[in-house]
């Protein structure tokens, strides 16, 4: 089969790395990809948001199956457009991708399906929103309704912070349309966990558990990022907890989406809070987490491609996935300054040495190459991922690989996996 993966981050590198191993693949492309991805897939010079361009290219190049990585093309309907052009495409339709595209939509679906989640209300008027905050008190959480590049959520510890978040979204319009309405919700206390399942709209196949670290600094401090590292399995999600999450959260959501005539196909990533009253839904994403994808696929023994095809074809009930018993841990290397502004084109040395341990894979998230020289192009640049007998072992191997890199402008957290290693 001729496959096109869409995206340019570490997640897409991991997808290409896994798909390239499938005996079903005759040719693999990635649009736009990055320099590291070129080891697995031929690059295509088209952006992930260029839906028309991608459809035309896929048609001209006889692509059999398209695998979008990020949420942006899904939310604007790449699956619908590809399928309408006769090209099989993995993932949710635009109607189903609303589970990530709109917080209000997710709350409505959750309420209709009886999914446990924080109490909430939606506002478009700033003074009504402030009155609600006065009535509820802090801590409280304010969320821009639409996609805001991961920056639309304020966990306000004081009422003043909550007012400021309201003003940003509803008065100063800093998120544009995405912040034209806000969801204000109850603050939930507990340990966060994420849970990914594949689904064909009806059947559900849980993936290995994984947990990321969102804060930029050691000890989970500093601003939120896309994810500074990750490990799998996640001990907080015990098999009993997984059953509860499937029964109370995932299955009711999948059934409700089907009932609405917008069945969800693809990977559904549930962000959870494990509270004293059991697991509650924080949010849905409609794509693999990044760097969760890197650790999950590192542990996957089975061929990924038939599972993705089965999601699209409604045949997931025939499938079973096998996983390595080993743990995996990914340390994200970012450019100094991230998640704020950062330099581009800083030189990275030692990539070959870092990948020397056969248990280590260095996934690229933002690199380009000039001859033999590797240069950084992004905030998150590398995902140094190791397998190990335990999470502690994977952690030791991943940091040993990180230490073989020579990249003065790069940094990473030194404590990825601390919760799991400490247990
Ligand atoms: P989201 O983009 O909805 O995942 O929110 C980003 C982060 O904000 C989450 O990973 C949580 O750490 C935090 N968060 C979101 N909603 C809540 C909530 N209701 N209570 C506590 N923390 C939350
Ligand atoms: N690692 C978090 C995310 O992909 O949203």
CB atoms within 10 A of CB 317: 12
Contact 378, 37 (CB under 8 A): no
Domain count, the chain: 4
Residue 178 contacts residue 144 (beta carbons within 8 Å):
yes
Is the distance from the beta carbon of residue 212 to the nearest atom of ligand 2 less than 6 Å? yes
User: What is the structure's pLDDT at 92?
Assistant: 98
Task: Tell me, letter by letter, the H, E, C secondary structure of 294-345.
Answer: HHHHHHECCCHHHHHHHHHHCCHHHCCCCECCCEEEEEEEEECCCCCCCCCC
pLDDT of residue 3: 98
On whether both 305 and 213 belong to a single domain, the answer is yes
Higher-scoring residue by pLDDT: 366, 168: 366
Residues 164 and 223 occupy one common structural domain: no
Q: Which residues pair with 191 in a beta bridge?
A: 274
Put simply, whether the predicted model's pTM sits higher than 0.85 gets the answer yes
Domain boundary (318, 347, 367) is at 318
Is the pLDDT at 40 greater than 80? The verdict is yes
150 pLDDT band, cuts 50/70/90, is: low
Q: Would you say residue 202 lies in a domain?
A: yes
Q: Check pocket membership of 227 for ligand 2, CB cut-off 6 A.
A: yes
Phi–psi pair at 416, nearest 5 degrees: -60, 130
User: Between β-strands 27-32 and 42-43, what pairing exists: parallel, antiparallel or unpaired?
Assistant: parallel
Protein residue closest via CA to atom 2 of ligand 2: 289
pLDDT at 319 over 80: yes
Q: What does the buried/exposed string (b/e) look like for 71-109 if buried means 16 or more CB atoms within 10 Å of the residue's CB?
A: bbbbbebbbbbbbeeebbbbbbbbbbbbbbbbbbbbbbb
For 69-109, strand residue ranges (E) read 88-89
Ligand at minimal distance from the CA of 7 is 2
Domain range for 73 is 2-89
- Assigned domain for 420 exists: no
- For ligand 1, whether the C-beta of 141 sits within 6 Å is yes
Q: What pLDDT does 276 receive?
A: 93
Same domain, 313 and 363: no
The answer to whether residue 136 scores a pLDDT higher than 80 is: yes
Q: What is the pLDDT of residues 173-191, one digit of tens each?
A: 777 777 778 889 999 999 8
Task: Please state, in angstroms and rounded to a whole number, the distance separating the CA atoms of residues 332 and 338.
Answer: 11
Percent of the chain whose predicted confidence (pLDDT) is above 70: 99
Q: Taking residues 349-362, report their average pLDDT.
A: 95
CATH code of 305's domain: 3.30.470.20
Query: Could you tell me the pLDDT band of residue 275, with boundaries at 50, 70 and 90?
Result: very high
Please report the pLDDT score of residue 171 as a whole number: 76
* Cβ of 212 below 6 Å from ligand 1: no
Residue 161 lies in a domain: yes
Contact indicator for 100, 147 with CB cutoff of 8 Å: yes
CA 67 / ligand 1 centre spacing (Å): 28
**CATH number of the domain to which 25 belongs:** 3.40.50.20
What are the tens digits of pLDDT across the range 247-272?
999 999 999 999 999 999 999 999 99
**Nearest-angstrom CA–CA distance, 210 and 331:** 13
Domain assignment of residue 164, yes or no: yes
Instruction: State the average pLDDT over residues 94-121.
Output: 94
Whether 352 and 405 share a structural domain: yes
Predicted pLDDT at 45: 98
State the distance from the centre of ligand 2 to the C-alpha of 36, rounded, in angstroms. Answer: 20
pLDDT grade for 423, boundaries at 50, 70 and 90: low
Whether pLDDT at 148 is above 90: no
pLDDT tens digits for range 187-227? 999 988 889 999 999 999 999 999 999 999 999 999 888 89
Taking the alpha carbons at both ends of the chain, their separation in whole angstroms is: 44
Q: Which ligand is nearest to the CA of 70?
A: 2
Residue 414 near residue 392, CB atoms below 8 Å: no
Same domain, 166 and 246: no
């Amino acid at each position: 089969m001729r496959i096109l993966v869409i995206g340019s981050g570490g997640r897409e590198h991991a997808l290409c790395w896994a798909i390239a191993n499938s005996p079903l693949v005759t040719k693999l492309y990635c649009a736009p990809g990055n320099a590291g991805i070129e080891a697995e897939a031929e690059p295509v010079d088209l952006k992930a948001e260029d839906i028309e361009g991608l459809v035309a290219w896929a048609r001209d190049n006889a692509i059999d199956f398209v695998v979008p990585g990020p949420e942006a093309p899904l939310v604007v309907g790449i699956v619908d457009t590809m399928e309408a052009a006769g090209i099989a495409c993995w993932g949710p339709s635009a109607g189903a991708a609303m589970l990530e595209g709109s917080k209000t939509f997710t709350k409505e679906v959750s309420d209709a399906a009886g999914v446990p989640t924080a109490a909430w209300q939606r506002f478009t008027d700033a003074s009504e929103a402030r009155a609600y905050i006065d009535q509820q008190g802090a801590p409280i959480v304010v969320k821009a309704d639409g996609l805001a590049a991961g920056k639309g959520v304020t966990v306000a510890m004081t009422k003043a912070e909550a007012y400021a978040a309201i003003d940003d979204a509803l008065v100063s319009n800093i998120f544009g349309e995405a912040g034209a309405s806000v969801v204000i919700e109850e603050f939930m206390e507990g340990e966060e966990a994420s849970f990914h399942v594949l689904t064909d709209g009806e059947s559900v196949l849980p993936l290995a558990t994984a947990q990321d670290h969102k804060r930029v600094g050691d000890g989970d401090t500093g601003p939120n990022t896309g994810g500074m590292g990750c490990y799998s399995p996640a001990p907080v999600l015990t098999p009993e907890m997984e059953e509860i999450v499937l029964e109370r959260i995932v299955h009711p959501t999948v059934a409700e989406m089907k009932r609405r005539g917008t069945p969800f196909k693809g990977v559904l990533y549930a962000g959870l809070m494990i509270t004293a009253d059991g697991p509650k839904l924080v949010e849905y994403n409609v794509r693999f987490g990044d760097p969760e994808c890197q650790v999950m696929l590192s542990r996957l023994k089975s061929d990924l491609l038939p599972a993705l095809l089965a999601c699209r074809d409604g045949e997931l009930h025939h499938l079973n996935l096998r996983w390595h018993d080993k743990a995996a841990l990914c340390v994200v290397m970012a450019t100094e300054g991230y998640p704020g502004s950062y330099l581009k084109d800083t030189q990275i040395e030692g990539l070959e040495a870092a990948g020397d341990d056969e248990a280590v894979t260095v996934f690229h998230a933002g690199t380009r190459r000039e001859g033999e020289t590797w240069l950084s192009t992004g905030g998150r640049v590398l995902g140094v991922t190791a397998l190990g007998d335990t999470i502690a072992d994977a952690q030791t191997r991943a940091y040993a690989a990180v230490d073989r890199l020579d990249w003065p402008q790069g940094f990473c957290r030194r404590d990825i996996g601390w919760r799991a290693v400490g247990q």
